[in-house]
Amino acid sequence: MKGRKVYAFNLHLTDFPYQPYQLLNIEYGTAPFLKTAAEAQAAAKAARGPALDLFFSDLKQADGADAAFVFGDFNEPSHLDWTEAAAKAGRHPLAVSYPSAQRIEVEGGFTDLFRAAFPDPVAKPGFTWTPTSEPTVKDDHHDRIDYTLGRGKNLKVVKAGIVGEKAPEADVVVTPWPSDHRASMAVVQF
C-alpha cells in the first residue's frame, strides 16, 4: 500500500432517544412514543444530526484519499433495512428512511458494505443489536445499528458479515463475545 492514503473514522452516535423503541411503545427514559415514519426521521435527525455535522467537518481531511472508511455504533437503524419489504415480513412495524447512514452515503459518497454484499434485509437482516435478548422479547427490538461504510475508486466488497457470539446470527463467531452489540465487518479491494 506504499504511497496510498486511507482514512478510517469511528462514530458512536447517541442512543437517546432510540426511535425503534419509540415506534414500538417500549419505554426508554423520558422519550415520547412515536406513530409515524416522519416523526421517527425527525427525531433521529434531531438526536444524531449535530454529531454528523461535526463528522462531516472532520471528513474533509479524507478528500483525495484512495479510500475512506466509517465504522461504528450509530444507534440508529438503516434506511436500507427498514423497508416496505421488511415491514411486510414483520421485521419492523413500518418502513422508515432513517437519516444518519443515508446522509453518510449520499453526502459523503460512502457505501454500506454489509448491504452491498447482502442487499435483501429480509433474507439477511444482519442484526447487531442485541445478542443479550431473544428476538421474540417484547421489550426490545433487534436491529442493525453498527456499520462498516466505505468509499474509494473502484472499491469492491469481497465479503462482508456480522461478528458475534454464535451462528447463525454471526458469520464470524468469537467466544466469549464481549459486547452487547455484534460487529459488522467487510473485506474490500480498491
C-alpha cell at 104: 453518510
The whole model's pTM is what? 0.95
Is 113:186 a contact under the CB 8 Å cutoff?
yes
Which residue in 169, 79, 89 sits closest to 129, CA to CA? 169
Ranges of beta strands (E only) in the chain are: 6-12, 67-73, 111-112, 146-152, 156-164, 172-173, 183-189
Ranges of beta strands (E only) in 26-180 are: 67-73, 111-112, 146-152, 156-164, 172-173
pLDDT (tens place) for every residue of the chain, 190 residues total: 578 999 999 999 999 999 999 999 999 999 999 999 999 999 999 999 999 999 999 999 999 999 999 999 999 999 999 999 999 999 999 999 999 999 999 999 999 999 999 999 999 999 999 999 998 899 999 999 999 999 999 999 999 999 999 999 999 999 999 999 999 999 999 9
The domain segmentation of the chain, as residue ranges, is 6-155
